[in-house]
Structure 1
């Protein structure tokens, strides 16, 4: 086992040693140079690939099934995966990221895979959306060799460059932003591409029942999002341990408790996508309901588990709790349907996560003010 990946004796793999990861500095010159190099290398690949595609399949449309945009999206996903994986691996020695060297090998592998998968999917979806817009603006345009090479080069440059910068500076706040953005973009894409316009008259999980790209996007988003939540739990535990060490959080068990809750929520979210409602209704509903129940428990236990956080955080948490209870009541009395209820609960969960991380980041500043 490599020394830098070995766990310290007697430590919990979910709770790495404390560090200042949340306050990591801006990207260094080395990171910027490496990201630029990755982008330029991808651009060269893009030029060659664009010329090959235009030669093998001339006059491809910009968007649609079997289009140049689809090929570009797959290529962007591939270079994003390579760039992101390399950046995440190399950034372990960056300032504020050294704590990742102490993670158990399996934990680091899970974290790396989740970060790579999410960036890959975002690159693919972003490219498809870009070419769809271009296709609507240049109706009837087909790709010639020159423009195929140029567009493919620019596309792959952006995918590799942006992916490298993002993965090399992965902090807890960046992770929460990535998580919320990914879930939102994936779910929205699934709704737009759903083959049945009336899917919303059934329930939110209906999006995962179609034997189309829409369902693959929806279920894939939930699975990858769940995996990313488990990675997010590791980052949260690290930041909370730092606050416990400084005496800001007074409950010494809070890092382990909160990280364990997020891991459970991540696993349940993934199972919602792994087992669509039309495959096994019981397992699907247990996973979805279980995630909501665990989230509810975290909100209720927050004053005790997260003792030491700013007062405004608890006021905000009680607001989320009230919104959740009101949503349940309105659903029970039939004011809105199952789809609206699922979307509201889904939104509350990830909105609270974003708020929690913001407060976690400034909790130490309040004590030193």
Structure 2
């Protein structure tokens, strides 16, 4: 599986691991700062501690690289976008970001808005690498499949649009552009859900039912927000994000099953 990684994926995967490492180190140092307030070290001790943490991180990454696969890239995608959004929420809790909208976390009025925008941008790069890696391998299983080509194009457009949402935050000057790009994400996900039966003809009935349920929930949330006014903008954005993100992860798990089938074991009791 590692041989399927091409030169196009290497920079993205390397940057993704660097971002994850940075987030982990920043979190660890923040926890240490909260536990040992006012503590300070001399230059030699600080350098030794940092070198020790860096060596541990490098050894961890070295143990992960030989196991690189589409499932691992999927988990990296989940880790980057979830950790970035959560960090942005925590750093802006005193600004009551939820009274505005989810996109407020990436605006110039938020604290450390680069965390939110960078998480979206890097998530899009990882998604591009995952799509390229996954469909390059699926060509061997389904050669000359038009459905897979259309699915690959739609997922690539989704990844590019996600990166554009992070690159153009919801600031006043580009509010309309950001809103339009964010709306395209919902339309692309709905298009994938409604067309998944044609794009993957042998998809299971359970996954098809779950897809219809998620699509119905997205449409219901749109009605509750736009027509009835029951949901706030923040609630609607979080709900739509969780539903679309969950379905996307399930789709990649189904695609991964073609390459790495999960071995089920039965135990007779």
User: TM-score normalized by structure 2?
Assistant: 0.87
Give the conservation status (yes or no) of the 8 Å contact 2:2–2:66: no
Q: Which residue of 1 aligns with 2:27?
A: 129
Q: Residue 253 of structure 1 corresponds to which residue in structure 2? A: 146
User: Cα–Cα, structure 1 residues 228 and 362, in superposed 2: closer, same or farther, change >3 Å?
Assistant: closer
Q: Distance in 1 between matches of 2:18 and 2:182?
A: 25
The answer to whether 1:348 aligns with 2:253 is: no
Q: How far is 1:147 from its partner?
A: 3.9
Pick the aligned partner of 1:138 from 3, 12, 36. 36
Matches within 5 A, 1:13-162: 96-100=1-5, 108-109=7-8, 111-145=9-43, 147-162=45-60
Cα deviation, 1:313-349, whole Å, max 9, x if unaligned, reads 2122222212212222222222221112112222222
Partners of 2:165 and 2:182 within 8 A in 1: yes
Distance change (3 Å), C-alpha of 1:230 and 1:362: closer
Larger helix share, 1 or 2: 2
User: 2:198 maps to which residue?
Assistant: 304
Q: CA offset at residue 308 of structure 1?
A: 0.9
Gap runs ≥5 in structure 1: 1-95, 246-250
Structure 1 residues 291 and 177: alpha-carbon distance in aligned structure 2, compared to 1, 3 A threshold: same
User: 2:221–2:231: 8 Å Cα contact kept in structure 1?
Assistant: no
1:164 to 29, 50, 62: 62
CA contact (8 A) 1:208 1:219 kept: yes
Distance 2:161 2:229 in 1: 27
2:175 alignment partner, one of 275, 281, 297: 281
Please state if 1:337 is matched with 2:228: no
Check conservation: 2:4, 2:137, Cα contact below 8 A: no
Deviation at 1:146, TM superposition (A): 5.7
In the alignment, the residues of structure 2 paired with residue 298 and residue 306 of structure 1 have an alpha-carbon distance, to the nearest angstrom, of 10
Q: Which has the larger radius of gyration?
A: 1
Long gaps (5+) in structure 2: none
Change (3 A) 1:312 1:213: same
Separation in 1, partners of 2:204, 2:55: 43
Alpha-carbon separation, structure 2, partners of 1:167 and 1:329? 45
**Structure 2: how far apart are the matches of 1:268 and 1:323?**
22
Residue 263 (structure 1) aligned with residue 156 (structure 2)? yes
CA distances 1:129-167 after superposition (whole Å, capped 9, x unpaired): 111112222222211456424421221012222233334
216-225 or 146-155, larger mean C-alpha shift: 146-155
**In structure 1, distance between residues paired with 2:131 and 2:257:** 18
The whole-number CA distance in structure 2 between the counterparts of 1:331 and 1:227 is 31
SS at match of 1:352: helix
Give, in angstroms, the shift of residue 311 of structure 1: 2.2
Partner of 1:316: 210
For 1:190 and 1:157, the matched residues in 2 are separated by 28
The two structures have a TM-score, normalised by structure 1, of 0.65
Q: Distance in 1 between matches of 2:148 and 2:136?
A: 8
Q: How far apart, CA to CA, are the structure 2 residues paired with 1:122 and 1:99?
A: 22
Deviation at 1:216, TM superposition (A): 0.9
| Cα drift, residue 229 of structure 1 | 1.4
